[in-house]
Structure 1
Amino acid sequence: MTSGLPTRTVAGVTIPNTTLITAALDYARQHSTDYTYNHIVRSLLLGTVISDKIPALLNRDREAHAVAAVLHDLGFPIGHPPHSKILSSDKRFEVDGANAARAFLKREAAGDDSDKWDKHRLQLVWDAIALHTTGSIVFEKEPEVQATSYGIWADFQGPDSGIGRPVDEYPRLGLMKGLKENMLHICKAKPQTTYDNTVGEWGDRYLGKDEYDRAPNLTQNLLETCGLDDKELG
Structure 2
Amino acid sequence: MAQELREMIRHTETDLLFNHSTRVYFFGALTGKRRRLRFDHELLYVGAMFHDIGLTERYQASANRFEVDSANAARDFLRSHGIPERDVEAVWDAVSLHTTPGIPEHKQAEVALLTSGVEMDVMGLAYEQFTEAQRNAVLAAYPRGDSFKNDIIGAFYNGMKHRPNSTFGTVNDDVLAYRDPHFQRVDFCKLILESPWSG
Same fold (TM over 0.5): yes
Please report the RMSD computed on the Cα atoms of aligned residues, expressed in angstroms.
1.9
Number of the residue aligned with 2:91: 125
Number of the residue aligned with 1:47: 28
Normalised by the length of structure 2, the TM-score is 0.87
- Give yes or no for contact 1:90–1:193 (8 Å, CA) kept in 2: yes
Letter in 1 for 2:70: G
Number of the residue aligned with 2:121: 155
Unaligned runs of 5+ in 2: none
Counterpart mapping for 1:191-210 below 5 A: 191-209=164-182
Deviation string for 1:53-94 (max 9, x for gaps)?
113x2x2122111111121111113xx3xxx2x555210011
Number of the residue aligned with 1:31: 12
Number of the residue aligned with 2:192: 223
Measured after TM superposition, the shift of residue 187 of structure 1 is: 4.6
Unaligned runs of 5+ in 1: 1-19
Letter in 2 for 1:221: K
* Distance in 2, Cα, partners of 1:186 & 1:32: 12
The structure with the largest helix share of the pair is 2
Number of the residue aligned with 1:66: 45
Deviation string for 1:101-155 (max 9, x for gaps)?
1111222x1xxxx2xx111110011011000111211111101111111111111
Letter in 1 for 2:47: A
- Give yes or no for contact 1:39–1:175 (8 Å, CA) kept in 2: no
* Distance in 1, Cα, partners of 2:175 & 2:189: 20
Counterpart mapping for 1:131-170 below 5 A: 131-158=97-124, 162=132, 163-170=135-142
Counterpart of 1:124 in 2: which secondary structure? helix
- Give yes or no for contact 2:54–2:159 (8 Å, CA) kept in 1: no
Normalised by the length of structure 1, the TM-score is 0.75
Residue 172 (structure 1) aligned with residue 144 (structure 2): yes
Number of the residue aligned with 2:157: 184
> Share of identical aligned residues, percent?
27
Of 49, 74, 77, which residue of structure 2 is paired with 1:104?
77
